Amino acid sequence: MLYLDFLRTVHARLAPSAYLEIGVRNGNSLALARCRAVGIDPAYAIHAELDGDVALFRTTSDEYFSRPDPLAATGGEPFELSFIDGLHLFEFALRDFIFAERHSSARGMIVFDDVLPRSIAEAARERHTHQWTGDVFGVLQVLELYRPDLVVIPLDTRPTGLLAVVGLDPENDVLVDRFDEILAEFRRPDPQPVPGEILDRRSVVAPARFLGSGLLELLAQQPATVSAGSLAASLRPLVREQFGTGFVAVA
């Protein structure tokens, strides 16, 4: 399944009230939104038709989220779906996740693009291939290690995979507090040490299986005020049943 087809279905089933996109480019994915949408990209060049309620910001995510009220553009509504497709470097992708989660609803979902490079060359920090993921794949390892409270599901979409993250906790500061430690461990020089299970796409989930699991419907039916703790009580059993214990902490 192409990643845009997956995202189109997620928008329809999750029906978010506010959407965030970091890395707009030509607007093809931003055009899928059917709610108040915020697009951030310092160099966007829109070719797609945007006929929704869209606020575009020609700036970096660092600058945008340093503003006094990053949710002003949504009228204070936290994001219920975010798509991270900005600069394809590990530290920027991780920081974008921190920004997005902090301004998200607990019932929301954050999706990373380009987490499943198909070669070592494609995963390089210094781009020298036409198709390029950079070292975004490292975010998967970090979230599994430092945020076992999250449900982190890599998806076998074309061309270079997606990573769906649910069970969000906007109050969690672990990644902020340990950011320097994480960078020291996971930001590595080229050639990148891409794990074999990522290159071979082992332990990834078919997008159709994810869409048929009932997970999106579970999130959509939660009240806007749901807490991370109360959502986990119903989210984790579903994930174990549908995907196995490899995608959720056992405790």
8 A C-beta contact, residue 215 and residue 165: no
Pick the more confident residue, 247 or 129: 129
Crossing angle, helix 138-146 and helix 90-102, to 10 degrees? Answer: 50
The label of the residue with tokens 């997970």 reads 215
Q: What sign results for the dihedral spanned by CA atoms 180, 182, 184, 190?
A: negative
CB 6 within 8 A of CB 211: yes
Question: What pLDDT sits at residue 244?
Answer: 85
Phi, psi (5° rounding) for residue 17? -90, -20
- DSSP H helices, the chain, are 3-14, 61-65, 90-102, 138-146, 174-177, 179-186, 196-199, 207-211, 215-220, 228-243
Neighbouring C-beta atoms of residue 120, cutoff 10 Å: 13
Q: What is this structure's pTM?
A: 0.97
The pLDDT of residue 249 is 56
**Which DSSP letter does residue 118 get?**
S
- For residue 49, with 0-12 CB atoms within 10 Å meaning exposed, 13-18 middle and 19 or more buried, which class applies? exposed
Say whether pLDDT at 250 is over 50.
no
Q: What is the DSSP letter of 178?
A: T
DSSP state letter for 152: E
Average pLDDT, the chain: 95
Q: Which residue type occupies 77?
A: E
Q: How confident is the model at residue 52 (pLDDT cuts 50, 70, 90)?
A: confident
Q: Does pLDDT of 160 surpass 60?
A: yes
pLDDT at 248: 64
CA angle 5, 7, 12 (to 5 degrees): 100
Domain 3-247 has CATH 3.40.50.150: yes
